[in-house]
Structure 1
């Protein structure tokens, strides 16, 4: 719609349509009216819909009624309220916030004083009365925070953390005095107060006090937490009533709806996936989750929800009609789902801008037999930049980069329209949707400087308009249509469901869930009305979070607790039905022990200082090196390789055996060598190395080499050219040597488009002679985010 026809009609009545209330209402999302040769043309801003997903699983055991983990309370203190309070300072900006029902219910429990978790119990216990078990629990878990942003800024908290890190947990157990425990109990809670509240007199006094906290201090700290928690729901309600945010919801306990309908939905994206022994098919549970979510929302917000965030952005044709029947108007999912559905591969240029912008940056109308449903698809890369990478950048640089990314999209859409204008002639929509709580822990001051700079830039620019999804759809209904039956079945992770099914342990959990569901089915008298405990336990066990942590793919310091919670929900179901609890539920689904080798768990942003900080590399992939080749025994040189990426760099870390430092002694140079399997380039044999075996992968041809020379303390970056030669190129790579070797190689040096892959080999050498190579069995494969 390049020319808004109503302008000419209204011009005849009232002159310049910019003076018309009707037009001003239509242009409430800040489109501009331009007079071009006597015709009034809409110059649209690029509409941007931020959707913040606020979610916590059900930590309250359906069996005991006790909370096992504190994250609702702690994230409630730090992340939910401040996000909208910052937004409220910029009234021109509108956003969407998704509040999951299981989060709302638990916030209410804490506000009412009926929730008690082990961390809270320990905090409110006189230190002289702490049991040995509690003392060890405190040493183990009361530093569960990103130390660079939440512990290091507070000297007393940092002091205790450094004692645990350098002297060990046993030393703390043997030497800490009651006041050390008292201070740690206080700081574990104080560190979760958002910096937005630091100027409040009571909080400022505690931060200034620093140490020697009493039980009375800790009681007042917890009371302050409860006060903040008590404002979360009312403030969201008030901001929605003012029109600055739209609050949406999620199926009741955050289940993967397509898998509840039929676990065979996982075969759509991965036909050969290994599925559970018994097929789970309970489509009737889908409307239960949707209905409960809607009713709960109406109780909290006094109106019906318009939007639904499907758990993990998981969709399939089978879930659309129940969503329509429950009155929802729109849902969101990931660009991967749109790509699979339309057969579009979203290519990005070197700057990261989608080339098929006209496909991604608009809403779609899904058609079903029960009615139509709108859907928006998020820009995966922009969402990940906020969620995983911008925390590693200076706030002003990160905000500027996001604005630059949005301007790149705007220019791409202007080029697509080919109107000859320098502004947009159609109301395009960029959706940025991500977790609204966990990422801020890694930002300076909990992301406040970043958000303020970003919001200021968005407020001041005439080229962008931040909107809620419902508001945008009200003014600009979808122009494109997708038949509901053609919608791809998948999630935001690679467009499939492999994060929640397909692994042996995940499949075992599905079998346990199906057995419990069948047991409930054999009790037709147990309705949701006369046996609510049984149904609450089932719906809790159907949540997605347990399956996320089972088996391979994700791990945390609380894997055993998630395992326990899942089994306790199922036990509660059997108990509510008067059935014996199966013996298998009394044992963990898997052995929860540290693994030597595993793939990356997520993006990483380590400081390159040679310190090998455990939190910096927490989500990195790891390869334990063992065995031997030739006369060189691996364990005498490098025994562990760490690797990972973010949107800025490739990160590598090499550990030597304890008490050994081979770099610059046994190893004089390290060669990082790689090639691009799907890119036509010059490639050359390894250079500056002698006596290396003529065997794979050493005899492969490579395109880039980064050589670290420890003796001369320098790096050389080389690129393959014609005739199997190498030419030096500039680089911004960095390395640091301390207790380990840490290396960062910028993606920008490689001039790759996003989603490009590379195969990496690491070669160790001494005075030009080959010593060994890593990984021992195969090349590392890394992908540009």
Structure 2
């Protein structure tokens, strides 16, 4: 019998990008993730017959995929791609330069010489003046190559092996034709149409279990009652109006189950609740709707057991299913994700070699096996986003996945399982008497409620829901009319979690204003289809201004720093630039960052960096790690420091291209780096080989045993100029 069972659950989801007023898809991500992630992640099972997956497909995602496959999706990016490069309008040119580099520069742009050349021609700035300048230098073939490369870079390596035309485009590299553009887009739409059938075939063959999510990805506990947010955060600031619509929550579940059955021929047995969001009311609602299992995060279980005072070994508790009984006689089984192991794939391993990452993963599984005491073999739940993490990996994560799945296949002590199959042979024996209300992120709902923007969003939703209810009361017998059905569909779409993901200061993107527009457009349509004027407050953006992201503050003056690791006094770092990692979120969310903040600044002779980190409270881990300042300019320059478990400096090393490396120890090194309450370091400009006025671009990286754990700033760089006494007002730009 296997000593450990392993369940992968890949969650596939995109917001509803179709503007209900214009009919256009405002963003292209459903199509692009289909060709980069959805099909190939499922298809990799064809090469690993011993492996099984659980894959979660959200109904609103599947609906969009079908819209693309049928040719019904009007996508602004597709239209800009197909626009003839010889006669682009000025607006098309601006749109292309602003949007056709929206890809990970390191793994998706710079690895392709022609695409990298085009990025260099455009430049990194997207200010209107810089875009206009860049457009004037682009020739017809430049435009056409860029139109192809944006779509081609989002095409997974899997399709190079399976499609000769796509492989031919990669090999050709440049000088593409209008016909090749059209054929590439046609191929993309065909792939969109193949995603659902591929998953259906895998489920029929017993290779995967396909689960789903409430239709438009809502946070069900908050739909049932927004006051639920106070269970985990009693002091939470809530919307002015209390939203309580459990009937909407039930409708989102049943709509999803009906849609799923129409595509897969059976009712779904399991659900990943949107963002792993659960409560007792919601769990029992799922049970009453005929759902067999749910999954959420380990922290929800720990808090549930603490609330019920259940004696348990908390870490071991996540490695088995738990059952919650319904007063109606039914029950629901629940699985809890190992968030350290899941986050390792989602956030850590992308910077490691495939072999090192797979070795670390298997080592962690081995530790779980050895720590199990009695009972059934542990069931380890690795649950994560199945789309957004791969762009940070070389080769879209394929090398890592193949290495990992190969090792798992060869290990006779590990069996991968689907959840329903597992429950058939191992029914849940542990009972949950209480269920904490929370999500997979910090076991609360703070991402979606509590910020003034989130609360304004809930108030607009409340007003629209009350308007529908009032309309039905005034027009008895019309609750089944087509107008009411359409209004409710827009309401359900507005109940999705994605809008509030981008409201507030938790996450930010270049497209925050588009998400705001889409949300308000659904609410506007409710009033329109029911024959009423749109409320004025829906004409006003909820997003109060696009957050450009950290750093929150830039350097304001020269620093005078004593390198002692103590943040000696209040004024020492007061004028420094400041970057708070917790505010750096994008489409993914890491539960906890090791580095909490980075401060940076300079005097005439040195660049200074301060790192605030929890690592200083964990001496054993500190001894395994290095802090690295990696420079993009001067290219190849890096400075690494490391400390032992007593926080004593072990080494200060400088690697420089075309110059001798520098290795400092003892007193010389201690003048340049120290750790106590914080990590402080100085990088003399003479080590950098720069002169006054020259630019220095850098990132701060945390390494463990040579492998990258974290890199800050998120998708950006710190940038300063080698300073002089006369030009401080011009020495930074981030």
Superposition TM-score, scaled by structure 2 size: 0.80
Match for residue 361 of structure 2? 402
Relative to structure 1, is the Cα distance of residues 216 and 636 closer, same or farther in structure 2, using a 3 angstrom cutoff? farther
Q: Match of 1:624?
A: 554
185, 195, 198: which one pairs with 1:222?
185
Deviation at residue 704 of structure 1 after TM alignment: 3.4
Q: Give the counterpart of 2:696 among 734, 739, 747.
A: 739
Task: Decide whether the 8 Å contact of 1:331 with 1:374 is kept in 2.
Answer: yes
Deviates more, 1:707-716 or 1:442-451: 707-716
**Which position in structure 2 is the counterpart of 1:49?**
7
CA distance in 1, matches of 2:294, 2:386: 17
Evaluate the alpha carbon distance shift between residue 622 and residue 464 of structure 1 in structure 2; reply closer, same or farther with a 3 A threshold. Answer: farther
CA contact (8 A) 1:528 1:535 kept: no
Contact 1:127 1:182 survives alignment (8 Å): yes
- Output one character per residue of 1:546-602: Cα deviation in whole Å (capped at 9) or x when no partner: 000001110011101000000001011111111110111112112333457x5xxxx
Match status 1:574 vs 2:527: yes
2:446 is matched with which residue?
498
Do the aligned partners of 1:674 and 1:705 also contact (CA within 8 Å) in 2?
Answer: no
SS in 2 for 1:96: strand
Of residues 702-711 and 515-524 in structure 1, the stretch that sits farther from structure 2 once superposed is: 702-711
Distance 2:619 2:83 in 1: 65
- 1:641 Cα offset (Å): 3.6
Secondary structure of the residue aligned to 2:123 is: helix
Aligned to 2:175: 212
Structure-1 residue corresponding to 2:606: 667
Q: How does 1:543-554 map to 2 (within 5 A)?
A: 543-554=496-507
Q: Assess if the C-alpha contact under 8 Å between 2:559 and 2:576 holds in 1.
A: no
Counterpart position of 1:391? 350
In structure 2, distance between residues paired with 1:212 and 1:92: 43
Whole-angstrom distance in 2 between the partners of 1:242 and 1:297: 17
Q: Secondary structure at the match of 1:49?
A: strand
Query: How far, CA to CA, are the matches of 2:323 and 2:56 in structure 1?
Result: 21
Shift of 1:369: 1.2
Identify which of 647, 667, 679 aligns with 1:704. 647
1:466 aligned residue (396, 401, 416):
416
Give the alignment of 1:114-263 within 5 angstroms. Answer: 114-165=72-123, 168-199=130-161, 200-263=163-226
Alpha carbons 2:238, 2:450 under 8 Å: kept: yes
- The answer to whether the Cα contact below 8 Å between 1:670 and 1:709 also exists between their aligned partners in 2 is no
Q: What do residues 331-375 of structure 1 show as CA deviations (whole Å, max 9, x unaligned)?
A: 001001001101299xxxxxxxx9743211000001111311000
Q: Map 1:195-594 to 2 at 5 A.
A: 195-199=157-161, 200-343=163-306, 356-370=314-328, 371-413=330-372, 416-417=373-374, 426-483=376-433, 486-524=434-472, 525=475, 526-527=478-479, 530-531=482-483, 532-594=485-547
The answer to whether the Cα contact below 8 Å between 1:139 and 1:173 also exists between their aligned partners in 2 is yes
CA distance, structure 1, for counterparts of residue 481 and residue 351 of structure 2: 50
1:429–1:635 Cα change, 3 Å: closer
Quote how far apart the aligned CAs of 1:461 are: 0.5
CA shift at 1:95, angstroms? 1.3
* 1:718-741 per-position Cα deviation (integer Å, ceiling 9, x unaligned): 9xxxxxxx999xx9x998957145
- Partner deviation per Cα, 1:224-248 (whole Å, 9 max, x = no partner): 1112112111111111000000001
- Shift, 1:124, TM fit: 1.2
Aligned positions of 1:650-729 closer than 5 A: 650=595, 665-667=604-606, 704=647, 713-714=662-663
When structure 1 is superposed on structure 2, of 640-649 and 516-525 the one drifting more is 640-649
1:604 corresponding residue in structure 2: none
* Distance in 1 (alpha carbons) for counterparts of 2:460 and 2:489: 17
In the comparison of the two structures, how many residue pairs are matched?
631
Gap runs ≥5 in structure 1 = 1-30, 32-43, 346-353, 418-424, 599-620, 657-661, 682-701, 719-725, 755-785
Alpha-carbon distance change, 298 to 709 in structure 1, aligned in 2, over 3 angstroms: closer
Deviation string 1:189-209 (CA, Å, 9 cap, x unpaired) is 011111011132101111122
Q: Is the 8 A contact 2:94 2:132 kept in 1?
A: no
Asked if the contact 2:616–2:647 (Cα under 8 Å) also holds between the matched residues in 1, the reply is no
Q: How far apart are the structure 1 equivalents of 2:144 and 2:458?
A: 43
The worse-fitting range, judged by mean Cα deviation, of 391-400 and 130-139 is 130-139
| Aligned-partner SS, 2:482 | coil
Residue 347 of structure 2: SS of its match in structure 1? helix
- Supply the distance in 1 between the matched residues of 2:506 and 2:301 (Cα, whole angstroms): 24
CA contact (8 A) 1:653 1:740 kept: no
C-alpha contact 1:364 1:479 (8 A) present in aligned 2: yes
Report matched runs for 1:35-46 at 5 Å.
Answer: 44-46=2-4
**CA distance 1:145–1:320, change in 2 (3 Å):** same
**Distance of aligned partners of 1:631 and 1:185 in 2 relative to their CA distance in 1, 3 Å threshold:** closer
Whether the aligned pair in 1 keeps the contact of 2:558 and 2:575 (CA below 8 Å) is no
* Separation in 1, partners of 2:154, 2:615: 44
Q: What is the RMSD computed on CA atoms of the aligned residues?
A: 3.5
For 1:82, the equivalent position in structure 2 comes to: 40
User: Contact (CA 8 Å) 1:654, 1:740: kept in 2 or not?
Assistant: no
Question: 1:130: Cα distance to partner?
Answer: 2.5
Q: In the TM superposition, what is the alpha-carbon distance from 1:406 to its structure 2 partner?
A: 0.6
| 2-structure distance, mates of 1:429, 1:442 | 28
Distance of aligned partners of 1:392 and 1:204 in 2 relative to their CA distance in 1, 3 Å threshold = same
Determine the C-alpha separation between the residues in 2 that align with 1:357 and 1:481: 16
Which ranges in structure 2 are unaligned for 5 or more consecutive residues? Answer: 563-569, 583-589, 621-644, 655-659, 668-673, 689-694, 711-734
Structure number, greater radius of gyration: 1
Per-residue CA deviation, residues 743-781 of structure 1 (Å, 9 max, x unaligned), is 4344679xx9x9xxxxxxxxxxxxxxxxxxxxxxxxxxx
Per-residue CA shift, 1:629-655, capped at 9, x if unaligned?
A: 899999999753446499997498666
Contact 1:674/1:704 (<8 A) preserved: no
* C-alpha separation in 2, matches of 1:668 and 1:63: 52
The answer (yes or no) to whether the contact 1:52–1:433 under 8 Å persists in 2 is yes
Please point out which of 97, 103, 109 is paired with 2:61: 103
